[in-house]
């Protein structure tokens, strides 16, 4: 099943990058198809205006609803369809998580609505909610200038989980935040040479003793998670008091 990805933005060239790297390969293999659209193509004035002053006053500009609605009609259609996932990156959105990426990896269609200026007229989101499955999501607690970077990050997090995308799906199981890691951060990784600039690979990893190696890795994951992400430690993870 091919996943169709659409991107609506006033900077559609942001998404040219999706033609390279692994995503390019996935497109070639028919796993995903990518369509980037310039929102200004749905304007009708000579300046191709997509923004206006905020009702109620305030700084900055707000994206007008009309171009979005006409773009939706042409790109998605005018009939409700809950199988279409419409993502609005927003600083006021719910934190985007690995579990959200996992859920979206089985979607047949995802449409990213990339706002700029101060944001998009809220009626656009309300209309989309009446038609499709909408996700207002945030990458994190910092401010970007628009939704494009978030759309790219979410795309990578989702598409790499699409069955058939990763050459070795087993590698997904041991990553940070994966279910296989019990939500823990990934342990430190090493490869050859064994000694590098006076720094050595931990001996246990060279022991060939799989049980000891597994314990060392689990202990390191717990240590790192407790140190860096106490918010993820909603249980003791077997940490001795
Ligand atoms: N996702 C996300 C965001 C944003 C964001 C998203 C869309 C727009 C449209 C205008 N400004 C935006 C900022 N800022 N910080 C995040 N984590």
- Write out pLDDT tens, residues 51-71: 999 999 999 999 999 999 999
Question: At residue 239, does pLDDT exceed 70?
Answer: no
As a whole number of Å, the end-to-end CA separation of the chain is 49
Band (pLDDT 50/70/90 cuts) for residue 169 is low
Question: At residue 241, does pLDDT exceed 60?
Answer: no
Q: d(Cα 154, Cα 100) in Å, to the nearest integer?
A: 9
Work out which ligand 1 atom sits closest to the CA atom of 147.
Answer: 7
Give me the percent of the chain exceeding a pLDDT of 70: 93
Mutate to test the pocket of ligand 1, among 144, 146, 148, 153 (most ligand atoms within 8 A of CB): 144
Q: Is the CB of 147 under 6 A from ligand 1?
A: yes
Question: At residue 89, does pLDDT exceed 60?
Answer: yes
Band (pLDDT 50/70/90 cuts) for residue 29 is confident
Distance 117 CA to ligand 1 centre (A): 10
pLDDT digit string (tens) for 183-219?
A: 899 999 999 999 999 999 999 999 999 999 999 999 9
Q: Which residues are paired to 134 by β-bridges? A: 86
Q: Residues marked as binding?
A: 115, 139-144
Write down the ipTM of this complex.
Answer: 0.99
Give, for 138, the enclosing helix (H) or strand (E): strand 133-138
- In this prediction, residue 180 carries a pLDDT of 64
Q: d(Cα 117, Cα 124) in Å, to the nearest integer?
A: 15
Question: At residue 167, does pLDDT exceed 80?
Answer: no
**Average pLDDT of every residue of the chain:** 93
Question: At residue 168, does pLDDT exceed 90?
Answer: no
Q: Is the pTM of this model over 0.80?
A: yes
Distance 150 CA to ligand 1 centre (A): 7
Question: Which DSSP letter does residue 232 get?
Answer: G
Distance 80 CA to ligand 1 centre (A): 27
pLDDT: which is higher, 185 or 164 = 185
- In this prediction, residue 240 carries a pLDDT of 40
């Amino acid at each position: 099943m091919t996943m169709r990805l659409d991107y609506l933005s006033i900077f559609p060239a942001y998404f040219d990058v999706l033609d390279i790297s692994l995503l390019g390969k996935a497109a070639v293999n028919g796993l995903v198809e990518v369509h980037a659209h310039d929102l200004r193509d749905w304007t009708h004035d000579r300046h191709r205006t997509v923004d206006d002053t905020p009702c109620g006053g305030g700084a900055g500009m707000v994206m007008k609803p009309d171009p979005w609605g006409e773009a939706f009609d042409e790109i998605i259609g005018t009939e409700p369809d809950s199988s279409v996932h419409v993502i609005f990156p927003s600083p006021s959105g719910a934190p985007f998580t690995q579990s959200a990426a996992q859920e979206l990896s089985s979607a047949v269609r995802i449409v990213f609505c990339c706002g700029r200026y101060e944001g998009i007229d809220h009626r656009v989101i309300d209309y989309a909610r009446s038609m499709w499955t909408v996700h207002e999501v945030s990458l994190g607690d910092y401010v970007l200038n628009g939704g494009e970077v978030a759309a790219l990050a979410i795309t990578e997090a989702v598409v790499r989980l699409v069955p058939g995308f990763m050459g070795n799906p087993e590698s997904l199981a041991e990553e940070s935040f994966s279910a296989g890691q019990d939500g823990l951060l990934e342990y430190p990784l090493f490869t050859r040479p064994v000694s590098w600039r006076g720094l050595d690979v931990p001996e246990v990893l060279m022991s060939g003793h799989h049980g000891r190696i597994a314990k060392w890795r689990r202990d390191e994951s717990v240590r790192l998670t407790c140190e860096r992400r106490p918010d993820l430690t909603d249980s003791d993870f077997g940490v001795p008091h």
